[in-house]
Amino acid sequence: MYKFYKQSAEEGMINFYDSLSEKDKRRYAAVETLKLPHGGKKYICDLLNCDLKTIQQGLSDLESDEQLKKNE
């Protein structure tokens, strides 16, 4: 498994993720994957114990939000 962050950062990410609503969890996981190179989605899925579909939906949510902002 790829290791992109230090253990202390990972622990903080997990604690923060666990405090979020389902919608915010999807978006947070998606944003984290956007920061990482190849292998990042799997790393975040494993780290946050979420499904790849969760991240895909989060990416879709973020894209929808961007489209809404452009239309304002």
Q: What pLDDT score was predicted for residue 3?
A: 87
Structural domain containing residue 59: 7-71
pLDDT at 65: 72
- The confidence score (pLDDT) of residue 2 equals 72
In a domain, 22, yes or no: yes
The DSSP code sequence of 12-48 is HHHHHHHTS-HHHHHHHHHHHHHHS-TTHHHHHHHHH
Residue 2 in any domain: the answer is no
Q: Is residue 1 part of a domain?
A: no
Total structural domains within the chain: 1
Per-residue pLDDT of the chain (72 residues; tens, 9 = 90+): 578 999 999 999 999 999 999 999 999 999 999 999 999 999 999 999 999 999 999 999 999 877 667 665
Extract the tokens encoding 35: 């920061």
